[in-house]
Amino acid sequence: MPATQMKQRVTFRNILFATDFSSAANSAMPYATGLAKIFEGKLFAIHVKDPINYAVPPEMWASAQQVCEMELQKLRDGMNRDFPELKHEVLEGEGAVWPALVSAIEKYGIDLIVVGTRGRTGIGKAVLGSQAEEILRRAPCPVLTVGPQTPSDERSRGKLASILFATNFGPASHAAARIAISLAEENQSRLTLLHVIENRSVGALSSAEEFGESSERDLRAMVPDEANFWCAPHFLVERGVAADKILEAAHRTKAGLIVLGVHKPVGVPGAATHLPIATVHHIVAHAACPVLTVRG
């Protein structure tokens, strides 16, 4: 990676927090507000409501509208009360989730999306469950996904003490590395860089040992000399199933954040990620910390 590509620090100035008022969304909100504070950015909270179904009795859709308005006002009041120093705005969309998010991304110059998901063995099914995969794959900016295994004490810390960046050295990895390094510098976090060698990967070089040594050199080359950390980065090369090894390393390093790269969506949905989409799902669903995905 050219050194000049890494010199510019990453900042998140306009953060979009997508909420369906569920417990999963509520779990993600502290991360959205925390990052907005760290980067002195503006937080946009958006709720995308279903269109009015005029096929049902008027009192039913009128009641649904009223509940939605009450939740939106509760959100506004809570943000004004709990985060008076934070620049924020509550947005309301209607219809399909992704088009509404795209509109907000373009209008407000969003550079980070934060979502919560409730799925335990994949991306759960609900307004911000079934749409999460599309957001992960198509968002032009990084996406922070807070999964169901993230404990409450992690959310209350506010500062990321340890960051794990996992890479397969694909095109998306460079963009993800830049963000992982910037976040580690900004938070003075411990940074661990990980590459997992799966069995099918070995063979291009004469031995697994040689392959591992080459991978560690590549990991070290991702960190510029001018990077400012409070402690030296760690470099890990593991062998095995990528999702399992990433989760094991996150647990071992007590990671408060996992950073992954994802490729631009091409071809069959779910087939164009840095890691197979099922692997990303597995990591999000089982990680005891948020997962930041960066599209290359």
State pLDDT tens for residues 105-138: 999 999 999 998 875 444 433 333 556 777 877 8
DSSP state of 109: T
Residue 191: CB atoms within 10 A of its CB come to 27
Dihedral of the alpha carbons of 135, 138, 144, 147, in degrees to the nearest 10? 40
In angstroms, the CA 246 to CA 197 distance is 11
Domain with CATH 3.40.50.620 in the chain: 1-148, 153-296
The number of beta carbons lying within 10 Å of the beta carbon of residue 279 is 18
Residue 98: φ, ψ to 5°? -60, -50
Going residue by residue through the chain, which has 296 residues, state the pLDDT in tens, using 9 for 90 and above. Answer: 444 344 557 789 999 999 988 888 888 999 999 899 988 999 999 999 876 555 666 666 566 678 888 889 999 999 999 889 999 999 998 888 889 999 999 999 999 999 988 754 444 333 335 567 778 778 889 999 998 888 765 444 456 889 999 998 887 788 899 999 999 988 889 999 999 998 655 455 455 566 678 889 999 999 988 887 888 899 999 999 999 999 999 999 999 999 998 765 554 444 334 455 677 888 988 899 999 998 76
Helix (H/G/I), strand (E/B), else coil: 168 = coil
- Per-residue pLDDT, 58: 63
CA atoms of 106 and 100, how far apart (whole Å): 10
Q: In whole angstroms, what is the distance from residue 25 CA to residue 178 CA?
A: 27
Neighbouring residues of 234: CB distance < 8 A, sequence distance ≥ 6: 190, 191, 192, 193, 253
What class is the 153-296 domain? alpha beta
DSSP state of 85: T
CATH code: domain 1-148 is: 3.40.50.620
